[in-house]
Amino acid sequence: MKNRDYLLNEYAKLVILKGVNVQKDQIVFIQSSINSAPFARLLTKEAYLAGAGEVIVNFTDEIISREHLIHKSEEKLANVPDYIIRMNEYACENKACFISITSPILGINSDVDSKRLQISSRALNERLKMRRDYLMSNHGQWTVVGYPNPVWAKKVFSGFSEEEAFDRLLESILVACRVDENSFSNWDKHNQKLSRYNKLLTDFNFESLHFKNNLGTDITVGLADDHIWAGGEDVSTFGVRFNPNLPTEENFTMPHKFKVSGKVVATMPLDFQGKLIEDFYLVFEDGKVVDFDAKKEKETLKNILFYDEGASRIGEIALIPDDSPISNSKTLFYNTLFDENASCHMALGAAYPTNTKDGSSLSKEELEKRGCNISGIHVDFMFGSPDMEIIGKKKDQTEVKIFHKGNYCI
Ligand code: ZN
Ligand code: ZN
């Protein structure tokens, strides 16, 4: 790859300055796999150059995590050690910003007992609820970004040597994130475009959206009261601008938890806890999944849907035009951060409170009254296609065509 070191450094700068937008003396908390150590080091350097007060890097290793999952007693699996909770509390209480580096080792947990995976993820979800609330309500800036590893790279570019596959995946990530010598102006322009659609869609104040394509998706998604469309740049409750995902192509909002009806057919596999769910569909009635099937890993899909009361309802609906850098690359990344930006998606589980007016300051009961779904999980899955048609219905029952043949027509 040409200028590899230069581009990687640009990418790190972009994550620090556009992703979390580190403020003077702020704590930066980086969650990284040991496979992403080279990138975590670059981020640490750039964070200090940007004025960070302290950078904390929490490394994990998927192979060691797998050993824990296989060998720990159920009692230990269901318990999150205090030092992990305290580390996260320290970061939240001190208003840190959070960077999470995604680098999946696909299939690593495929032979781990699903029940044990559930116990462990439930424990983490429950004991780290404070961190999830902090992030989902934008009390601090946060961003999720990607970095390759050889296993992931070989899955995406299977016909190449490990080294070449790695380089190709890195290049694809950089292209998807619009990293080049004009990275910053690229992002300014991109954010302006996303913000234009946010405004347009919010002003329509649609009651519902109807999605239809030839694969069998035919679903009406009612929207929450006082919903707000977001996407691209966001603002923390302390007024700091940041980009929660690099890349991002989506405009998303809060569906109404009781007003989703019809069938949605997934168009991409879903990697969940190291298991790959393939060829699946869901049928909703009054917001709840009443029927589903998957050709592969149906059990894992079932575990998601039965996680808690909110897990069989949706908390996010996102529009992504078929004409985007990720979609145009025709690359299947087997990872939600990238694949969700190639395709319209929805999320089973929790909604973002910020997707409704003044949502961050509302109580749980007030949020639920607006149709906000509450859950311990948030799992995005993709259902967009090049022939997707979307029609919005306004409060006065007039209709507006939003997507024609997979792209915006407003
Ligand atoms: Zn989304
Ligand atoms: Zn999501």
Q: What is the pLDDT of residue 377?
A: 92
Q: What is the pLDDT of residue 273?
A: 82
Q: 276: CA distance to ligand 1 center in Å? A: 19
The mean per-residue pLDDT over the stretch 252-263 comes to 98
Residues with CB under 5 A from ligand 1 (ion): 250, 252, 318
Q: 243: CA distance to ligand 1 center in Å? A: 13
Q: 49: CA distance to ligand 2 center in Å? A: 31
The mean per-residue pLDDT over the stretch 346-350 comes to 97
CA atoms lying within 13 Å on the CB side of residue 246: 33
The mean per-residue pLDDT over the stretch 289-295 comes to 98
Q: 380: CA distance to ligand 2 center in Å? A: 5
Sign of CA dihedral 29, 33, 341, 193: positive
Q: 133: CA distance to ligand 2 center in Å? A: 15
Q: What is the pLDDT of residue 136?
A: 86
Please give the backbone phi and psi of residue 202, each rounded to the nearest 5 degrees, phi first.
Answer: -65, -40
List CB contacts of 97: < 8 A, sequence separation 6 or more. Answer: 20, 21, 22, 23, 26, 27, 28, 29, 140, 141, 142, 143, 242
Is the pLDDT reported for residue 323 higher than 90?
no
Between 274 and 339, the more confident residue is 339
- 314 in helix, strand or coil? strand
Q: What is the pLDDT of residue 81?
A: 94
List CB contacts of 65: < 8 A, sequence separation 6 or more. Answer: none
Q: What DSSP designation does 208 have?
A: E
Ligand number nearest to the C-alpha of 345: 1
Q: 316: CA distance to ligand 2 center in Å? A: 6
Please give the backbone phi and psi of residue 137, each rounded to the nearest 5 degrees, phi first.
Answer: -95, 5
In angstroms, the CA 108 to CA 335 distance is 14
Digit-coded pLDDT (tens) for 109-164: 988 998 999 999 899 989 999 999 999 889 999 999 999 999 999 999 999 999 99
Digit-coded pLDDT (tens) for 173-226: 999 999 999 999 999 999 999 999 999 999 999 999 999 999 999 999 999 999
Q: What is the pLDDT of residue 90?
A: 97
Q: 346: CA distance to ligand 1 center in Å? A: 7
Q: What is the pLDDT of residue 66?
A: 95
Ligand number nearest to the C-alpha of 317: 1
Q: Exposed, middle or buried, 364 (CB in 10 Å: 0-12/13-18/19+)? A: exposed
Q: DSSP readout, 102-165?
A: E---TTTTTTS-HHHHHHHHHHHHHHTHHHHHHHHTTSS-EEEEE---HHHHHHHSTTS-HHHH
Q: 51: CA distance to ligand 2 center in Å? A: 30
Q: 198: CA distance to ligand 1 center in Å? A: 13
309 token code pair: 């009361």
158 token code pair: 């299977």
Ligand number nearest to the C-alpha of 230: 1
Question: Could you tell me what percent of the chain has a pLDDT over 70?
Answer: 100
Closest CA to 327 of 176, 104, 161: 176
Ligand number nearest to the C-alpha of 315: 2
Is the pLDDT reported for residue 275 higher than 90?
no
Q: 350: CA distance to ligand 2 center in Å? A: 9
Q: DSSP readout, 350-405?
A: PPPGGGBTTGGGS-HHHHHHTT----S-EEEEE---TT-EEEEE-TTS-EEEEEET
Is the pLDDT reported for residue 276 higher than 80?
yes
Ligand number nearest to the C-alpha of 349: 2
Question: pTM score, two decimals?
Answer: 0.87
Q: 76: CA distance to ligand 1 center in Å? A: 33
Q: For the chain, how far is it from start to end, CA to CA, in angstroms?
A: 38
Is the pLDDT reported for residue 107 higher than 90?
no
115 token code pair: 């029940």
Q: 317: CA distance to ligand 1 center in Å? A: 7
Q: 346: CA distance to ligand 2 center in Å? A: 7
256 token code pair: 């109404």
167 token code pair: 């380089």
The mean per-residue pLDDT over the stretch 11-38 comes to 98
Q: 81: CA distance to ligand 1 center in Å? A: 31
Is the pLDDT reported for residue 1 higher than 70?
no
Which value, to the nearest 10 degrees, does the dihedral of the CA atoms of residues 252, 258, 259, 262 take? Answer: 100
Q: 37: CA distance to ligand 2 center in Å? A: 26
- Give whole-number Cα distances, 300 to 118, 287, 294, in Å: 10, 21, 9
Ligand number nearest to the C-alpha of 377: 2
Q: 380: CA distance to ligand 1 center in Å? A: 7
Ligand number nearest to the C-alpha of 339: 1
Q: DSSP readout, 214-276?
A: TTS-EEEEEE-TTB--B-SSEE-TTS-EE-SBSS---EEEPEEEEEEEEEEE-SS-EEETTEE
Ligand number nearest to the C-alpha of 373: 2
CA angle centred on 29, ends 166 and 254, rounded to 5°: 85
Q: 322: CA distance to ligand 2 center in Å? A: 18
Is the pLDDT reported for residue 263 higher than 80?
yes
Q: 408: CA distance to ligand 2 center in Å? A: 20
List CB contacts of 393: < 8 A, sequence separation 6 or more. Answer: 206, 207, 208, 209, 210, 399
Q: 365: CA distance to ligand 1 center in Å? A: 24
In angstroms, the CA 403 to CA 389 distance is 5
Q: Which residues lie across from 340 on neighbouring strands?
A: none
In angstroms, the CA 329 to CA 177 distance is 12
Which value, to the nearest 10 degrees, does the dihedral of the CA atoms of residues 21, 23, 26, 28 take? Answer: 20
Q: 320: CA distance to ligand 2 center in Å? A: 12
Please name the amino acid found at residue 228.
I
Closest CA to 342 of 384, 313, 372: 384
Q: 382: CA distance to ligand 1 center in Å? A: 9
Q: 137: CA distance to ligand 2 center in Å? A: 14
- State the chain's mean pLDDT as an integer: 95
